Amino acid sequence: MWERGMPETEGTDSDPRAAPSAPVLVPGFEHRPGRHCGSTALRDLLGFHGARLSEELAFGLGAGPCFYFVPMEGSSPSRFINGRTRALEEEFVRLTGAPLELATFPDPNASWEAARAVVDSGAPALLLTDLYYLDHYGNSAHFPGHAVVLAGYDATHAYVADTGFEGLQRTSLDGLRRARHGDHPVFPLAGHMFTVAGDLGGFDFAGAADAAIAAAARRMQDPEFGEFQGLPALRRFAAEVGEWPGLIDDWRWAARFAYQVIERRGTGGGNFRAMYGRFLGEVKNPAADAAHEASARWSELAAELLAASEEESPSSERWRRVGVAARAVLAAETDLWARLAP
């Protein structure tokens, strides 16, 4: 329902004059498979420019962990949750002060021309997409804000580095255009592109750790989106999720989707808290154990949701256990963010 057609214009990507038939690839670009799209893409982009940092450090310095719970009646699924901040890449730039630039483009043709120009200059570009339109995902489900690194193109396809995939993935230019301009109600996109715009030699990324931790804690405890974000959203979620079969018709799909976004869809397990625990350990923050505890509780909830989604009719005992697991998550998260509060 969120698909939007692209206008027909002269010089489109199907026109052989628009791009060479042989691939144009960024020389020396290296992709190392990772766990989460945004932190992997940041690590790959920065690594190309000589800055070596772990995926966990990239995630933590973007104040990565968060929580959103948004009922979306009439959508599929009707309950949307996510455990990562909406603007990881922008937060990374703001908190570290690294010389990265964000550009947006209302026009899909202009956004492609800008991205192609970066590759032509011999550098990669980080792009935000809705993965629904990327060929290597096969139109599975809309998921906006998915980061990839553009490292090449030919007359009809783009070559992108993407999270856990080995090597570069080939996706159609038309699909990439749609992916970069999706109008999902949670995260509409306008050709978002990040590029490195300065020297990264000797840049002190780890020096931003305290500010990034404080930013994540403030967002969880005093969220800008009120009851839809942070601990307020988690309290609402924990109070409701065990009652889904009596509240929503798509309880099986909502449970399956929630399991996926907690445990599978690029979270590194435990709703990003396992990655965050490793980040806290890397910067020697004593709350690392609390993050790993929260990760374990999220994984337990995900297992209950997966089991519930596979039942033809709802089991009252199963959904009672879902509610218990959700309340355990809330307790662990409350403890984690109290320990990290500035």
Closest CA to 38 of 181, 191, 162, 197: 162
* Helix, strand or coil, per DSSP, at residue 128: strand
Check residue 74 and give its pLDDT: 82
Whether residue 223 is predicted with pLDDT greater than 70 in this model: the reply is yes
pLDDT tens digit sequence for 138-171: 776 777 789 999 999 999 999 999 999 999 999 9
| Segment 265-273 mean pLDDT | 93
CA max distance for the chain? 63
Task: Give me the pLDDT at residue 145, please.
Answer: 84
* 314 compared with 138, residue with greater pLDDT: 314
What is the pLDDT, as a whole number, of residue 202? 82
Percent of the chain at pLDDT > 90 equals 80
pLDDT one-digit tens code per residue, 47-79: 999 999 999 999 999 999 999 999 988 888 999
pLDDT over threshold 90, residue 197: yes
Is residue 9 pLDDT above 80, yes or no? no
pLDDT at 21: 72
Say how far apart CA 337 and CA 273 lie, in whole Å: 12
Question: How far is 109 from 100, CA to CA, in rounded Å?
Answer: 23
How much is the pLDDT for 17? 40
The Cα–Cα gap between 1 and 243 comes to: 27
Residue 73's CB is within 10 A of a number of other CB atoms, namely: 7
pLDDT, residue 6, reads 27
Q: What is the distance between the alpha carbons of residues 171 and 160, in angstroms, rounded to a whole number?
A: 8
Per-residue pLDDT of 178-193, as tens digits, reads 999 987 766 788 999 9
Asked if the model's pLDDT at residue 106 lies above 80, the reply is: yes
- Give CA–CA dist 152/125, Å, rounded: 10
Percent of the chain having pLDDT more than 70? 93
